Structure 1
Amino acid sequence: MVDRWMRRTAGVPRGLLRFLVLKLLTEKPMSGAEIVEEIERETDGRWKPSPGSIYPLLASLQDKGYTNESPTGESGMKQYMLTDEGRAFFEEQLEFGQKFLKKLEFLAPILVGGFQFDINHENLRNVRGSAKRAVKSFIDLRATFKDSLTKQDAEEIAGILNDCSEKLERIAQRIKEK
C-alpha cells in the first residue's frame, strides 16, 4: 500500500530529469537506455525514468541544439552527445541543481521524526536540529565540490560519514534490542 501511494504522490521535481540527463551527457555519449540504467543505478533502484519521459526529452534537447546523435556504437543503439551549446546550457543548469539541493534541507527534520507515527517527539527535538544541521552542512559542502575535491578530501568525508553511520547503526540495534 505504501509503495502504491509513493508511486502516485512522490513525483520527481520539475526539471530534475533534464538536469540529470545533461549531467550524464557531460561525462560521455549515452543512449536513452543507458541514461535510464544509470539513473536507476544511482538511485539504488528507487527511480527508473520511463521511456515516455526520456525519449521526448532527448528529442527536445536535440531540437534545441543541445545534443547531437553520435555514430551508433557496437550496441547499435542511438547515442546522444552534448554540443558546445548544450555544455553552456548545462553550466546554467548547475544553478538549478544547487537551488534544488538547498530545498532538500527541509526534509531533514521530517526524516527524523517530523511526521512519523508512534514516536516520542520530545526526545527527538535535539536530533531534528542536529539532522538539519548535518544535511545543510553536506549540501553546502557539495556546492564546493565541483573540480576542487581532492582524493584526500573525499577520503576524509567518506571516513566521517562511515563513522557516523556505524554509530547510528549501533544505536538503532541497541534500541531494537530493548
Structure 2
Amino acid sequence: MKTNIERLRKGRLKLLILDALNERPMHVYEIIKTIEKKFSGLYKPSPGSVYPVIKSLVSEGLVKVDNVDGKKIYVITDSGRSTYKEMKEEAKNFFSQNNQYRKLTRSLFDIGLTLYNYKEILKDEKTFNEVMTVIDDCRKKIEAVLEGVKKE
C-alpha cells in the first residue's frame, strides 16, 4: 500500500512531467533534463520514477506516444493540457492561500541549497551519514508532531 508521501511525490512528478511536455514533445531523457534544469540541478528524477508516471499518463489519455525514427516521443494531449492547467492552478491556489506552508517549503528549499553548497564535503561518508541521521531524526520528529495533532 502506498503512503501519502509516495502519492504526493507521484502527483508532483506527474505535474512536473506535464509541465515539461507542455513546452514541447520530448524523449524521457529530455523530460528528466528539463525537470533537473527547472530545479537548478537540486532535483533530478530517476528513469525508474519517471517511466511509471509516464505510463500512467498515457493510460489516462493525458500523454500519447509517437515513434520518430524508432524512438518514443511523448506528446501532451488536449486532455493532458487541461489537466495540467487544473493541477497548476490548484497548486498555485494552495500556495497563495497557505502562507505557513510556503514558509515550510521555503525552509526545506533552503536546506536543499545548503546541502547543494556543501556537496563536495558530503562525499565524505562519515559526514554524509551524520547529515542523513539529522535529516531522518528531523523527519521522524515532524511526523510525531503531526500525528499527535491528527489524533487530537
Note the 1:58-97 alignment, pairs <5 A: 58-72=54-68, 77-97=71-91
The alignment status of 1:34 with 2:30, answered yes or no, reads yes
Same amino acid, percent of matched pairs = 37
Q: Unmatched 5+ residue regions in structure 1?
A: 1-10, 112-178
Structure 1 distance, partners of 2:42, 2:8, is 15
Alpha carbons of 1:72 and 1:99: their partners in 2 closer, same or farther (altered >3 Å)? Answer: same
Aligned counterpart, 2:15? 19
Structure 2 distance, partners of 1:17, 1:96, is 15
Aligned counterpart, 2:102? 105
RMSD, aligned α-carbons: 2.7
Note the 1:106-145 alignment, pairs <5 A: 106-107=103-104, 110=107
Structure 1 distance, partners of 2:30, 2:48, is 15
Q: Unmatched 5+ residue regions in structure 2?
A: 1-5, 109-152
Instruction: Number of aligned residue pairs: give it.
Output: 100
Q: CA deviation at 1:107?
A: 3.3
Q: CA deviation at 1:96?
A: 2.9
Structure 2 distance, partners of 1:30, 1:69, is 10
